[in-house]
Amino acid sequence: MIDLSVHIGSLALQNPVMTASGTFGYADEFKEICDLNDIGAIITKTVTPHPRPGNPPRRIVELPYGMLNSIGLPNVGVESFIIEKMPFLQTLKTNVIINVAGTDEEGFVFCVQRLEDVSGIAGYELNFSCPNVKGGTSFSSDPGIAERVTRNVRKTTRRPIIAKLTPNVTSISEIGRACENGGADAVSAINTVVGMAIDIKTRRPRLSTGTGGYSGPAIKPIALAKVFELSRCLSIPVIAIGGIACAEDAIEFLIAGATAFQVGTVNFYEPDATMTIKKGLEYYCQKNNIQKIADLIGSIQLKEMAK
């Protein structure tokens, strides 16, 4: 038996596989395809203080190596989320992490405060990094704001907090450190990379908002570099996100220093990817005589690295 368990602060995960917010809905749509209790943690679509319709179409463009989206955080708002979405999530035995965002600093605290008395929640992921809403990335591009919001949420809850970071900054580790100082238990990286596509017949941007967030296999090397940087700078765990589509991708991130990882865009074209990836991790460990997956974390060999 391979031990796949990992720890994120006080949060014990039976395996390092998590779902990335916005790519796995509220999990119920996947219940026929995946054994949801076999996933280390499920992270829900971002919930905000009030309902949001999201951005007008067109909101998704499929590109050769990834996907461009400008969904704009449509959701039912935290009150309806508790009534409509939590009952199913409360039936699950695995960790359920609620991803929250505000359109201002107080919005994060508002959501967490409202969710505090609700059972079946293992922790919160703070979406500091949505590129598709006005001001969405300001929470993770200004270290002062990132630290302040994290600290205010920290005062509101004893549940684990994960700060989700944007790659669209000069120094992701500076922002990561700010979140750590504010009391985050972990950071997750990366959210989508700002991108654009143009229709050359009409000469108009293909997304209604002009630019959007790029995700999928194309962003994996970018994410890997950011995760590597963060894991060398921070003392809290780093959760990897970005282009993970198979077990081999995930293993690269663990070796680079991630404690766990999230599976995102691949869920749209391989909805059982979380299951396949978990099996692939076991297979890799068996083949390579690794008893505990945690031994892989940060095992990168750097002796011959030039810088």
By the criterion CB under 6 A, which residues form the site for ligand FMN? 20-23, 45-46, 67, 69, 71, 73, 99, 127, 130, 164, 191-192, 215-216, 219, 241-244, 264-265
Spatial separation of the C-alpha atoms in residues 64 and 87, rounded to whole Å: 38
Picking from 94, 83, 90, 75, the residue whose alpha carbon sits closest to that of residue 36 is 94
Shortest distance in whole angstroms from residue 302 CB to ligand FMN = 25
Between 125 and 180, CB nearer to ligand FMN: 125
Q: Return d(Cα 23, Cα 25) in angstroms, integer.
A: 6
Exactly one of 130, 179, 246, 285 is catalytic; name it: 130
Structure tokens at 273: 């990817």
173 or 191: CB nearest ligand FMN:
191
Which CB, 132 or 295, lies closer to ligand FMN?
132
The minimum distance between CB 189 and ligand FMN, in angstroms, equals 8
- State the minimum distance, in angstroms, from the CB of residue 190 to ligand FMN: 6
Output the residue with the shortest Cβ distance to ligand FMN: 22
Contact indicator for 188, 164 with CB cutoff of 8 Å: yes
* Maximum Cα interatomic distance, the chain, rounded to a whole number of Å: 58
Residue 130 falls in the annotated catalytic set: yes
Closer of 95 and 215 to ligand FMN (Cβ): 215
CB of 151 to ligand FMN, least distance (A): 20
Active site residues: 130
